[in-house]
Amino acid sequence: MLKELCIAVATIMIIASSSYAMAKEGCGGECASCHTLSVKDAGELLKKTGINVKSVKQAPSKGLFEILVEKDNKQGIIFIDYGKKYLLQGMIVSLDTLQPVSAHEQDLPQSKQPTSLDVSKIPVDKAVVMGNPKGAKKLYVFTDPDCPYCRTGHAELKKLAKIAPNVAIHIMLFPLPMHPGSYDKSRSILETKSLDLLDKAFEGKEIPKPIKESSKKMIDEIAKFATANGISGTPTMVLPDGTIQVGMRDAETMKRMLEGK
């Protein structure tokens, strides 16, 4: 699994050179035969960012070059469109598996992330519980209302709550710095622990602003626990036995995982 794909880059979107490889008229074949980008040219396009280009490959999704870059001795993935006008940060996620996919997966260093944690230490008093609060099976999900993958995963969690009535889904709100608006949204949800507000936030709808200072401490405590236990991205699941799973799965798969299948 790819971890920590984003690195510090000065800007999310930059206007680059207007000279780009033109696709052949009616192109419908192999993208690489029409669209090319060398390491040298990528370095020139990205020189304003101060990052070093290590490799360029066609991204799993057509229309993008996937660039392996390095800065401050840390490697990560960014993307440039075929027109060579825009830089994109983030990851490509398969809709089939809800897992990140990358042309450079074998080239990235595998971080030594813990594979499990002590679930008794999870600050569940600061969780919003979906499903059956008294369910015998416990699932812990560290998630961010403004994370697009979390939003997809949240819809699957709602399905899970319907097909697995003996599961308590503990939502641990973990707003990431890259989503500045998520912190206040998470505070508002925790102040009320309202499932309605939770759903609205994950649907991208407006919710009331936070009003209690105590909610800052609650969010910060969740973040502190996550960081101390090697959880650095969202969504991340923790199974009842403490096994850490980066990313989420579809509802049926999560149900089988909770059943030990």
Please write the tens of the pLDDT for every residue from 210-259: 999 999 999 999 999 999 998 988 999 999 999 999 999 999 999 999 99
- pLDDT of amino acid 232: 85
135 and 105 share a domain? no
154 and 191 share a domain? yes
- Please tell me the distance from the alpha carbon of residue 256 to that of residue 165, in angstroms, as a whole number: 13
The domain tally of the chain equals: 2
The mean per-residue pLDDT over the stretch 96-105 comes to: 79
pLDDT of 136 over the 50 cut: yes
Give 13-24 pLDDT, tens digit per residue: 333 333 333 333
HSE-CB of 138 using CA atoms within 13 angstroms: 16
8 and 99 share a domain? yes
DSSP states of 9-26 as a string? -S-S-----S--PPPPTT
Which residues are paired to 169 by β-bridges? 130, 139
HSE-CB of 173 using CA atoms within 13 angstroms: 34
Residue 216 CA, distance from chain mean position: 22
Contact 237, 245 (CB under 8 A): yes
- pLDDT of amino acid 184: 96
188 and 212 share a domain? yes
The mean per-residue pLDDT over the stretch 121-138 comes to: 97
Indicate which CATH number applies to the domain containing 123. Answer: 3.40.30.10
Which CA distances in Å does 211 have to 115, 206, 216, 259? 37, 15, 10, 40
* Residues 6 or more apart in contact with residue 2 via CB below 8 angstroms: 77, 91, 100, 102, 105, 108
- Please tell me the distance from the alpha carbon of residue 9 to that of residue 7, in angstroms, as a whole number: 6
Domain carrying residue 150: 119-258
- pLDDT of amino acid 189: 98
Using the 3D structure, point to which of 76, 110, 144 is the last residue of a domain.
110
> Strand ranges (DSSP E) for 14-136?
52-58, 64-71, 74-81, 87-89, 92-93, 100-101, 128-131
78 and 145 share a domain? no
In this prediction, what percent of the chain has a pLDDT beyond 70? Answer: 84
